[in-house]
Structure 1
């Protein structure tokens, strides 16, 4: 019995939320996933999952074994990387986490360029607005928006995350152009569902502060849905600059209330200091910082 493989499968089931999800992640059949779990339970003499027709949940023993297995697998990955650290050519799997919108429009293109330069590297890019545990979840690096609270990580500053308020020309022709934050009350506004829980950006107008209106014409849980509505003239949208940049450049959306924009948020590329020796990570950090580093590098300076 391959204990490490069984542990890897068990951890994949927990992280994917199902046997089928783990099968897709590992590239094996769901039946084979079940066999690995059965072997592990037989070896341990304990049930790891409570099975039902709808879901599989961890038993108390399973929860404890899952945490220990994650730590063991991370140690194995670190031991394997010792060989890689001695190689000059970047190679192997690089796991990177990034927020959804920033990752889609800024990090994913950089990853593609990086892979074109380094043919022996594979990248697993996970886009999610959840903050991952680098060591616990097996990531080499992560892009994070906001202040870095984990002082144990190396944090390289990237271009700040800026917001833009914009609308389609047709909407502005019908409803007029808002001059200040107080004008939002008479406009149709498009809102992210997170903002309905008052977790949002604060607008500034002189000495006053405002929140994006709660009585939004449309609420959506993804910025792309709000962007599509704004392009069709449904209302004002406030979304990251990186999401709306192309629309603004071609005039499909027009920026408004630029003096009221929320303060930009810091962005960092973070990684554990003991992994910076890995050629694949060192080259990736160099690549990302070279393009998105903040303040921008001055090329050709003496």
Structure 2
């Protein structure tokens, strides 16, 4: 028989001094109650109760056993109540894993507002550019960029979309010209992650259909924040996600290019172990994440389709007007995305690599 249930039955018999009354209180038959007590005595090899036709009394072993069992059952009840409370009230440590750059640029304000709203939850954030095993590593929530989690025990939910944008600094465009067609990227130094080195093919969709371009990478970094820094310094053309460069585009520090062309979007998803018995801290954090990104304008639209903020269009126009003549005597490339492509002056390509972790 179930030992824990037998212990509960024994305590009830001892408290009420009767098998019959205990059976009524527990909604069991008297025979079942008797078997539970007999099973305990058989397991312990000692008598716990003295039985007469008129009354029950505890043996010395029974009194010792009753005292200890009470503590065990009280502790167990306390643990159960604590677990139930944690499952219904947001409390405890919330372990989160997210990609490094997304975490630094987009996750911090969400965690801050969540912690203010639920002060009994302690966020524990791990940033890592790898496929984390949520169950094995004990994470409550994972955020993934452009990854698919295939596991029966893991639930995924779309969070937001990252729009990939071709961009460069005004200073770079002033020196090397403004590409208006994906083919122009062949003669510009491109900034990329190491996995994209060696001429990975980029697939653009535009007014003339699908355009495939194999870019030549001049600078590599294993972290997109480093690529952003290179782009801000005018070291080449970069293809970066909207969640990383949204403010740079708004301020004019970076200029969006190839406005008539689109690259595949990057889906950002939430992952968490199982829907069953989801703790309140996990459920409320997921809801908070979804709500935050639903109302964040910079994540809710494609920044390439919006009109440039005041100052950016003027900066681009000034950049184009100031472009020097090309070596072959051709006119500089117009900033108009709809204008036919003109010859580009091939920009010098710095040769360096930055592949160490940040």
> Which residue in 1 is equivalent to 2:238?
237
Q: Is 2:111 aligned against 1:111?
A: yes
Cα distance in 2, alignment partners of residues 269 and 120 from structure 1:
22
> Which residue in 1 is equivalent to 2:167?
166
Structure number, greater radius of gyration? 2
> Which residue in 2 is equivalent to 1:208?
210
Q: Is 2:110 aligned against 1:132?
A: no
Question: TM-score scaled to structure 1, two decimals?
Answer: 0.64
Answer yes or no: is the 8 Å Cα contact 2:199–2:217 preserved in 1.
no
Q: Deviations over 1:52-100 (max 9, x none)?
A: xxxxxxxxxxxxxxxxxxxxxxxxxxxx898334344311111111112
Answer yes or no: is the 8 Å Cα contact 1:156–1:270 preserved in 2.
yes
> Which residue in 1 is equivalent to 2:225?
224
Q: Deviations over 1:98-126 (max 9, x none)?
A: 11222221122211211122211111111
> Which residue in 2 is equivalent to 1:96?
96
1:257 and 1:120, CA in 2 relative to 1: closer, same or farther beyond 3 A? same
Cα distance in 1, alignment partners of residues 85 and 277 from structure 2:
13
Q: Deviations over 1:153-201 (max 9, x none)?
A: 2222111122111111121122221111100112122122121267776
> Which residue in 2 is equivalent to 1:183?
184
Cα distance in 1, alignment partners of residues 83 and 213 from structure 2:
50
> Which residue in 1 is equivalent to 2:38?
none
How many angstroms does 1:263 deviate by? 1.3
How many angstroms does 1:248 deviate by? 0.6
1:198 and 1:135, CA in 2 relative to 1: closer, same or farther beyond 3 A? farther
Answer yes or no: is the 8 Å Cα contact 2:160–2:267 preserved in 1.
yes
Answer yes or no: is the 8 Å Cα contact 1:140–1:275 preserved in 2.
no
Report SS of the residue matched to 2:217.
coil
For structure 2, which runs of at least 5 residues remain unmatched after alignment?
1-78, 298-358
Cα distance in 2, alignment partners of residues 199 and 93 from structure 1:
42
Q: Is 2:61 aligned against 1:84?
A: no
Report SS of the residue matched to 2:165.
strand
For structure 1, which runs of at least 5 residues remain unmatched after alignment?
1-79, 297-302
How many angstroms does 1:293 deviate by? 4.5
1:210 and 1:276, CA in 2 relative to 1: closer, same or farther beyond 3 A? farther
How many angstroms does 1:264 deviate by? 0.8
Output the aligned Cα RMSD.
Answer: 2.7
1:167 and 1:180, CA in 2 relative to 1: closer, same or farther beyond 3 A? same
Q: Deviations over 1:200-241 (max 9, x none)?
A: 76334533343452x322111111211111112111111111
Correspondences of 1:268-283 after superposition (within 5 Å): 268-274=269-275, 277-283=278-284
> Which residue in 2 is equivalent to 1:248?
249
- Number of residue pairs matched? 217
How many angstroms does 1:145 deviate by? 2.2
Question: TM-score scaled to structure 2, two decimals?
Answer: 0.55
How many angstroms does 1:140 deviate by? 0.6
Answer yes or no: is the 8 Å Cα contact 2:200–2:214 preserved in 1.
no
